[in-house]
Amino acid sequence: MKKRFPSNIVMIAFCVALGTQVTRAQVPSPVVDPQGDALDVLSLGGPLIDIDTIDITFDATNLFFSISFHTPILPPQSGLPNSIFGILELDTDQNVATSIPGAPAQNTVSPPFPFVTMGTDFGISFDPGNTIGFARLFDSAGFDTDVPVTYGPNGVNGTVPLSALGGDDGLLHYTYVGGNGVGNLTDALDQVGVSVPEPASVVTLLTGCGLVLARRPRRGR
């Protein structure tokens, strides 16, 4: 049985009519979302959970993600109006043609959310049904596992082993759509993000390249 997006997000998304679509560009991480663009999409009220910044980096072993909000938030399991729910979608092969069915989720709610051009190979769900202290990582082939996360007053961060992403190298595209604890969609990332290497990984890579160049024999000697 193929894994689908958490039912609350899919049902909400398909309750909103599709309209004129605006495709956005890809930008390297971190992606800063405009302040004040959160919406009461379904007229259900509750806090307008407003995305601030999403940052995804990687090293040789892990993928690191951080999502911050302009508004105070609580974990999904708190059951309060300012608790979050949402999906961080990952396009590990950077191929629009390969995607989980129904993804990216924000495209089914465009407008008012921006239409983004990317496939989705994995999703990380922040859902009330998750185990406390964890998000859920899943794909379309039935893979489904816990991802440890840490919540702060205005955000959440976590680490995913690259082995859990099919041995991916960490370079991927991403987007996010989410809402509040009353089941209302409020915001989606305006642009497709592109993960970047951790600074230490870049230094290691450049050092390795320097060593390779230094060891190359010079011509004419």
The full set of domain ranges for the chain reads 7-215
Tokens 């990952």 belong to: 90
Give the separation between CA 160 and CA 179, rounded to whole angstroms.
Answer: 23
Q: What's the pLDDT score for residue 199?
A: 87
Average pLDDT over residues 200-209: 53
Q: Is the pTM of this model over 0.75?
A: yes
Tokens 């059951």 belong to: 79
Q: What's the pLDDT score for residue 102?
A: 82
From 35, 189, 175, select the one nearest 114 (Cα to Cα): 189
H/E segment holding residue 9: helix 7-14
CB-neighbour burial class of residue 200 (10 A; exposed 0-12, middle 13-18, buried 19+)? exposed
Q: When comparing pLDDT for 163 and 202, which is higher?
A: 163
Q: What is the architecture, at CATH level 2, of domain 7-215? A: Sandwich (2.60)
Q: Is the pLDDT of residue 127 over 80?
A: yes
Give the separation between CA 56 and CA 115, rounded to whole angstroms.
Answer: 21
